[in-house]
Amino acid sequence: ETGVTQSPTHLIKTRGQQVTLRCSSQSGHNTVSWYQQALGQGPQFIFQYYREEENGRGNFPPRFSGLQFPNYSSELNVNALELDDSALYLCASSEQGVYNEQFFGPGTRLTVL
Amino acid sequence: AQSVTQLGSHVSVSEGALVLLRCNYSSSVPPYLFWYVQYPNQGLQLLLKYTSAATLVKGINGFEAEFKKSETSFHLTKPSAHMSDAAEYFCAVDTGRRALTFGSGTRLQVQP
């Protein structure tokens, strides 16, 4: 059974640029959630995708957007990067309705200069 | 809105000593509660979950947690700490709103 994978591992961008992060969900999981974890803090929910539709969103601006593909993999896109977007971005997959038990990937470390 | 509070951003114990990490939740509906562990430069790993089946929940690596509704608590314990337990621990709550809400985390140090 393959776990949740994310790419790239690390990324350095400059302010104002755009970035795309990728996530492959665990086999059998149809739901993907994205979280932002700033240094020294707990993860903050960005949004969730289920069957290719956004299924819930946290308190993040519209420049954070996403996609889910038919194979349940997902992308997180961030436009007009700001310095405060520097964080670890975590992807989690789950089966819809199963106690929301989420399985996390290793994350992508984004640094915005 | 649901939330969790983790008391103590840093906890230090000696190897072999009891580990107690505190988590209090706030929820207007029966919650699902989780404990996750994060090792340096890694993602989150599920330690255990409470889904209303039993108030004492056993997880991996010898950890367990007890759901106490009267105290709105879900503290994590382990009878005997091991050096490999050193990590960041997060309590999280879900009330069916699609997202997990995490606490700010507790860093556990284990002294030899």
Size of interface A-B (CB pairs under 8 A): 59
Is the confidence at residue B27, as pLDDT, over 90?
A: no
Q: What is the pLDDT of residues B47-91, one digit of tens each?
A: 999 987 788 999 999 999 999 999 999 999 999 999 999 999 999
Alpha-carbon distance of A81 to B17, in angstroms, equals 45
- Contact list in A for residue B41 (CB cut-off 8 A) is 106
Cα–Cα nearest to A94, from A103, A83, A85, A84: A103
According to DSSP, the residues that pair with A92 across neighbouring strands are: A33, A104
- What pLDDT is attached to residue B96? 65
- At position B94, the amino acid (one-letter code) is D
In the prediction, which pLDDT does B51 show?
A: 84
SS3 of chain B: the string is CCEEEEECCEEEEECCCCEEEEEEEECCCCCEEEEEEECCCCCEEEEEEECCCCCEEECHHHCEEEEEHHHCEEEEEECCCCHHHCEEEEEEEECCCCCCEECCCEEEEEEC
* pLDDT value of position B97: 60
The residue ranges of chain A whose pLDDT is under 50 are none
Average pLDDT in chain B: 92
Residue B13 predicted with pLDDT over 80: yes
> Which pLDDT score is estimated for A101?
80
Does B42 reach chain A within 8 Å, measured CB to CB? Answer: yes
B35 within 8 A of B41, measured Cβ to Cβ = no
Taking phi over 0 as left and psi of -120 to 50 as alpha, with beta for the rest, A62 belongs to: alpha
Choose between B31 and A70: higher pLDDT: A70
Tell me, yes or no, if B45 comes closer than 8 A to chain A by beta carbon.
yes
pLDDT, position A111? 97
For residue A29, the distance in angstroms to the closest alpha carbon of chain B comes to 15
Residue closest to A91 by CA, chosen among A9, A28, A19: A9
Instruction: Give the model's confidence band at B30: pLDDT under 50 very low, under 70 low, under 90 confident, else very high.
Output: confident
